A and B are shown apart, each in its own frame.
Chain A
């Protein structure tokens, strides 16, 4: 490549050619910073996302449901680990990342600041929250940063089980008693709008989106992804036989897509700012788990040290 191009221009040319950027390649500082923010936020969301569901593991209605929920929560722990590792390739270490989460410097998806009030909420989370996450994550499998893209491919493979187990819970309850169906409707009424908010602010109010799209960190805009999610989800609600809590939701023949009502962004920004129903509880639970697990980390190091010394003394004797 000749020297008439600056480093930034050469980088953009690689992106335009759909080349993946790998950990040790040159990249603009802003690209690195944007990725650290986005991928770590994604990792934190997986880890905090275990909390609303863990509430229901011991209350699952059958052993089959309990096993599936345990497997799903374990997957989320794994997804958090894939993503933390991907973030670390950008030159930040795990302790810094955890610190940023625990001090509130880093955000996680606001959806996890809502409470899980009934078993139907577990179904609604799998169907809507994981459904929205999948919509976003499938697009991210083509993100320009190699380690992030590879983590997303792995995550997407595992995630579709999450959505199906959620939908299966709701399907079963909808075939049950009137009271069970009401529980489903109540849960869906509460989770619908926060799920739409998961895609982030509208495109005209999302200042960093254009650059992220240019760098192909994001492959589709917030509004494009949200529309896809609505279009995929409405027919699924019809099969359940429940309604979605939006009087303006209507199929638009001309567009071939669903129109839907305006999102309450005040609520969204309130929850992001820390004033959601469960923000304090979630973060407190996370910090408590980390602090109370400190002895396990220390013991593991002590044990590893002891094993190493034992090996060395065995060698000395031999």
Chain B
């Protein structure tokens, strides 16, 4: 098994929706990862399309840097429509 890399599996449940991460599995290569993902993650019509990505190819943000990365969005309330007061006379916008 040491020789089998880890693949992260993404499934599109139906057209119109994103591929979504569902878990991971080991396989000898990407082709086998798709076959295994089909057996492991779509036994009950959960998907119509599979993406597999070798786990080592994913670069992830560091949880320790979460504050620096994501907190700046918190005080930018003017990016949301509710920040703007509209006159009562205006019914729809």
Contacts and interface: CB of A to CB of B under 8 A. Distances in A.
A154 B23 CA distance: 10
Contacts of B43: 71, 74-75, 78, 158
B23 A85 contact: yes
Nearest to B31: A307
Could you tell me the dominant secondary structure of chain A's interface residues?
helix
A78 B40 contact: yes
B28 A303 contact: yes
A304 B32 contact: yes
A297 B1 contact: yes
A253 interface: no
Interface string A84-121: 01101000011100100000000000000000000000
Residues of A in contact with B, size category: 20 to 34
B53 interface: no
Contact of B24 (A85, A95, A98): A85
A157 B22 CA distance: 14
A78 B28 contact: no
A272 interface: no
Interface string B22-44: 11111111011000000110011
Contacts of A269: none
B24 A24 contact: no
B6 interface: yes
A22 B61 CA distance: 13
B2 interface: yes
B6 A88 contact: yes
Interface in B47-65: 60, 62-64
A81 interface: yes
Contacts of B64: 26
B63 A95 contact: no
Contacts of B22: 154
A308 B30 CA distance: 11
A81 B40 contact: yes
Contacts of A48: none
A50 B44 CA distance: 20
A25 B63 contact: yes
A150 B60 contact: no
B75 interface: no
Contacts of A150: 23
B88 interface: no
A304 B64 CA distance: 37
Nearest to B61: A24
A192 interface: no
B39 A78 contact: yes
A39 B8 CA distance: 19
A75 B40 CA distance: 8
A22 B28 contact: no
Interface of A: 22, 24-26, 71, 74-75, 78, 81-82, 85-86, 88, 93-95, 98, 150-151, 154, 157-158, 297, 300-301, 303-304, 307-308
Given A24-B63, A88-B24, A297-B4, 19 more contacts: A22-B63, A25-B63, A71-B43, A74-B39, A74-B43, A81-B25, A82-B23, A85-B24, A85-B25, A94-B1, A94-B26, A98-B1, A150-B23, A158-B44, A297-B1, A301-B4, A303-B28, A304-B28, A304-B31
Q: Which 6 A-B pairs have the closest CB atoms?
A: A304-B29, A300-B28, A304-B28, A85-B24, A301-B3, A94-B1
30 contacts: A24-B60, A24-B62, A26-B63, A71-B43, A78-B43, A81-B25, A82-B40, A85-B23, A85-B24, A85-B25, A88-B6, A93-B2, A94-B1, A94-B26, A95-B1, A95-B2, A98-B1, A150-B23, A157-B44, A158-B43, A158-B44, A297-B1, A300-B4, A300-B32, A301-B3, A301-B28, A303-B28, A304-B28, A307-B31, A308-B29
